[in-house]
């Protein structure tokens, strides 16, 4: 109910009607309980709430903490998001090497945004050794899954034979 009200512009996350706030509080408690039981999806949901400030105070450090918990339990989306936080120094200390490691874990599970991000890191040598062929492999995997920007870059690579890849 809360998300629908906000999406329709009938409320904001900081001014929810009592019934919607009660529903949201119940969901939050449920996710916290499930997180205590080790549910990675609930941990990821809590991270997303804190990242965006949905019904809670926006807190990048708290978001990163929850994303890390979910990432450590193998959730690919959390691994990608934690990688992005590390790559950009948001809520955590900037670390390209750690970002690349989390992107690699998510890439191995087929997470398309992580594949695209890891391609960039290989191509630029950020956090990993510069390896154009490995970067192109990641880029191509993302393109094959429909990632539009990856498709563009694959096309450019083929057109111009960039970096000796093709």
User: Which pLDDT value is given to residue 2?
Assistant: 82
> Rounded to two decimals, what is the model's pTM?
0.88
Under 8 Å between Cβ of 123 and 115: no
Beta carbons of 120 and 135 less than 8 angstroms apart: yes
Count of beta carbons in the 10 Å neighbourhood of residue 110: 12
Q: What DSSP string runs through 66-111?
A: HHHHHHHTT-HHHHHHHHHHHHHTSSS---HHHHHHHHHHHHHTT-
Run means of pLDDT, 10 residues per run, the chain, 166 residues: 85 84 89 96 96 91 98 98 98 98 98 98 96 94 96 91 67
Q: What does the alpha-carbon distance between residue 93 and residue 36 come to, in Å, rounded to a whole number?
A: 26
> Quick check: 100 and 83 in contact, CB under 8 A?
yes
Determine the pLDDT at residue 131.
Answer: 94
Contacts of range 15-24, beta carbons closer than 8 Å, 24 or more positions apart: 16/55, 21/55, 24/55
């Amino acid at each position: 109910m809360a998300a629908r009200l906000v999406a329709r512009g009938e409320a904001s996350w900081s001014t929810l009607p009592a019934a919607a706030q009660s529903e949201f509080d119940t969901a939050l408690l449920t996710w916290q309980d499930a997180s205590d039981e080790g549910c990675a999806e609930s941990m990821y949901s809590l991270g997303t709430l804190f990242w965006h400030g949905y019904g809670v105070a926006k807190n990048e450090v708290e978001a990163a903490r929850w994303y890390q918990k979910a990432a450590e339990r193998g959730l690919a989306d959390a691994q990608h998001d934690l990688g992005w936080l590390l790559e950009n120094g948001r809520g955590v200390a900037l670390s390209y090497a750690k970002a690349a490691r989390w992107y690699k874990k998510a890439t191995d599970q087929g997470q398309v945004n992580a594949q695209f991000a890891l391609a960039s890191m290989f191509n630029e040598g950020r956090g990993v050794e510069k390896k154009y062929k490995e970067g192109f492999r990641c880029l191509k995997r993302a393109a094959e899954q429909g990632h539009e920007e990856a498709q563009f870059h694959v096309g450019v690579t083929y057109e111009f034979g960039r970096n000796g890849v093709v």
